[in-house]
Amino acid sequence: MLRIRNKNKFTKRILMLLLVLVCIIGVLWFVISGIISLFNKEDEDTMEDIQGMQTLEETNNEPEVTNEVMQVSSNVGINSEELNQWNLKLVNKDNSVDSSYVPELEEIDDGVMFDKRAITYLKEMINAMYKDGITAIWVASAYRSYEKQEELFKNKVEYYIEQGEEQEEAEKLAQTVVQRPEMSEHNLGLAADFNTVTNEFEETKAFQWLQKNAQDYGFILRYPKDKQDITGITYESWHWRYVGEEHAKIIKENGYCLEEYIDYLKGAEEV
């Protein structure tokens, strides 16, 4: 049997040995933990790189959104709001205005009435022409009541009948010059007929000025020479329509007639 002569000394040695073992184990644990953390960090970085590459690949595979598509989306977003504006009301053989409709009017000259909301722009435009030395300009006709438009249409029909046309053909011919009641822009009070109301107006300085500047005051040439198949109305150099400056500039820039511009606002792919 082993006999321990100095128990205290033996106990101290055992404790020292245990302390050393604890320190060694602690150091080993620290080293092992560091190695494990290093491998985990590398794995995380690798996963981030893979995810980043996948995201980039998905982005590159997405269909390209062109400016044209964005433009159509923009148009679609403004359709209902824009098309309901009073100044963009489309009136023609396919779009009538109620016979009871009478806008709030204001006199522009000697009993000639115009929509009160737009008359300021008409006056400003005429004043600008005067400042540029063009004084031979006046509004011969603007707002017309249902009854007045009916009278003008019947008179034109009778004219063609006197020329030998049958009733039906006379009405068709009349409608290319004078719209039927409820189908005339003059019922809106937004159209102005200048001077002698003939295409002699095309030869005047006033017409040339309007061609260059009218859009700045919100007016457009309503029935252009090259749009007769769309408007259904023969060329009228004297007939100018208020639509608002923003719209007038787009119409002028793109060479639209009002029918085409309305289609553009509806998001038509081709105009």
CA distances in angstroms from 21 to 3, 7, 24, listed in the order given = 26, 21, 5
Helical (H) or strand (E) element with 187: none
Kindly provide the residue ranges of all beta strands, DSSP E only, lying in the chain, ordered along the sequence.
105-109, 112-115, 139-141, 191-194, 219-223, 236-242
Determine contact, residues 105/114, Cβ cutoff 8 Å: yes
CA distances in angstroms from 188 to 35, 55, 91, 175, listed in the order given = 85, 57, 8, 18
Nearest to 177 by CA among 162, 156, 149: 156
Determine contact, residues 183/232, Cβ cutoff 8 Å: no
C-alpha dihedral over 103, 106, 108, 109, to 10 degrees? 110
Nearest to 134 by CA among 217, 206, 208: 206
Nearest to 102 by CA among 192, 191, 187, 178: 187
- Choosing from 150, 236, 246, 269, which is the catalytic residue? 236
Helices (H) and strands (E) in the chain, counts: 9, 6
CA distances in angstroms from 102 to 19, 115, 143, 192, listed in the order given = 106, 9, 9, 16
Compute the residue count for the chain: 271
Point out which residues pair with 236 in neighbouring strands: 223
236 is annotated as an active-site residue: yes
Catalytic residues: 236
